[in-house]
């Protein structure tokens, strides 16, 4: 399987759109056109990685959103082996995502990240960290 770049590295490899600001602990990625900090999140799914990848490759984030989320017995977000990593700005200037699967407890990025123009309205439901 080819090695795909991590979502944050992929963003910062586009210096016309993103810049990195070092902080005392770590770094922040800034979306240059909006001047906003990039927020990172994720969503775990009960669906297979093949189902997530097919929806991801369709370019239709609503198809991704229609997949079954990993929820615990109380209906709260849970973890699983299949995840979608997210990067976006709060004001909706952009949304990028990347599917990932845990194989033998090791996260493996299964596709190159991509932008989803016009899909930022779906972020609030997709990002289980918010």
């902080």: which residue's tokens? Answer: 23
- Residues 51-107 have pLDDT tens digits of 999 999 998 888 999 999 999 999 999 999 999 999 999 888 899 999 999 999 999
- For the whole model, what pTM was predicted? 0.91
Would you state the pLDDT for residue 52?
A: 96
Closest residue by Cα to residue 100 from 49, 46, 54, 40: 49
Phi and psi of 125, rounded to 5°? -80, -35
Would you state the pLDDT for residue 1?
A: 58
Would you state the pLDDT for residue 44?
A: 97
- Residues 107-119 have pLDDT tens digits of 999 999 999 887 7
* Tokens at 71, concatenated: 């929820």
């Amino acid at each position: 399987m080819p090695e795909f770049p991590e979502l944050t590295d992929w963003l910062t490899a586009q210096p016309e759109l993103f810049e990195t600001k070092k902080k005392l602990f770590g770094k922040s990625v800034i979306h240059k056109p909006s001047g906003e900090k990039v927020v990172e999140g994720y969503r775990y799914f009960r669906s297979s990685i093949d189902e997530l990848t097919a929806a991801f490759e369709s370019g239709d984030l609503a198809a991704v959103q229609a997949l079954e989320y990993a929820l615990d017995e109380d209906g709260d977000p849970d973890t699983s082996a299949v995840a979608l990593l997210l990067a976006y700005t709060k004001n909706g200037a952009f949304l990028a995502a990347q599917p990932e699967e845990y194989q033998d407890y090791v996260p493996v990025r299964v596709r190159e990240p991509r932008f989803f123009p016009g899909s930022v309205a779906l972020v609030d439901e997709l990002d289980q960290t918010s």
